[in-house]
Amino acid sequence: MPRRDRQDPLPPGPELATRLHSAAIHLLRRLRVEDSASGLSAPRLSALSVIVFAGPVTLGDLARAEQVRAPTMSRLVSGLVKAGLVIAERDPADRRIQRIRATTKGRALLEAGRLRRVRRLARDLDRLSAAEFRVLREAVAMIERVARAER
């Protein structure tokens, strides 16, 4: 177990979690600058991401995933529909339900944005030594395992 300074208010697990949380936020902020090329606001881009990777989805499911209220999500989806990035269709089994799915244009826009972010991160990772890169590869595998753990 790592040594602790007596002044450290957190035990090692939470201290590491705090550092990882902060690093993840800073990394995402750094990569988010690439999103401006998409021409979409952050909320619209986030909603499109959910639709592309989890869709087709209902408006309610999308609002829950994005942690916003249905009227807010309805406005976001309307903008995505007008931009030709998603289509809202009535469910054939229950006409009261609308399912939102990405168009080819929406999927392409999101994938291009993801590629820009990944390329930026890859350039940043090129500054690591071979030893640091190996350690990071192992750490990423652990982080993925934690991310997939049941709650």
Picking from 100, 99, 77, 73, the residue whose alpha carbon sits closest to that of residue 65 is 73
The per-residue pLDDT for range 126-151, each reduced to its tens digit, is 999 999 999 999 999 999 999 898 76
Domain 37-124: CATH class, spelled out: mainly alpha
Picking from 86, 7, 93, the residue whose alpha carbon sits closest to that of residue 49 is 86
Question: What is the spatial distance between Cα 107 and Cα 53, in angstroms, rounded to a whole number?
Answer: 9
pTM summary value = 0.77
Q: How sure is the predictor about 12, in pLDDT bands with cuts at 50, 70 and 90? A: low
The per-residue pLDDT for range 72-85, each reduced to its tens digit, is 999 999 999 999 99
Confidence check: pLDDT of 51 > 80: yes
Confidence check: pLDDT of 1 > 50: no
Q: How far is CA 73 from CA 54, 64, 81, in A?
A: 16, 9, 12
Long-range pairs of 134-137 with CB within 8 A, sequence gap ≥ 24: none
Domain map (residue ranges) of the chain: 37-124
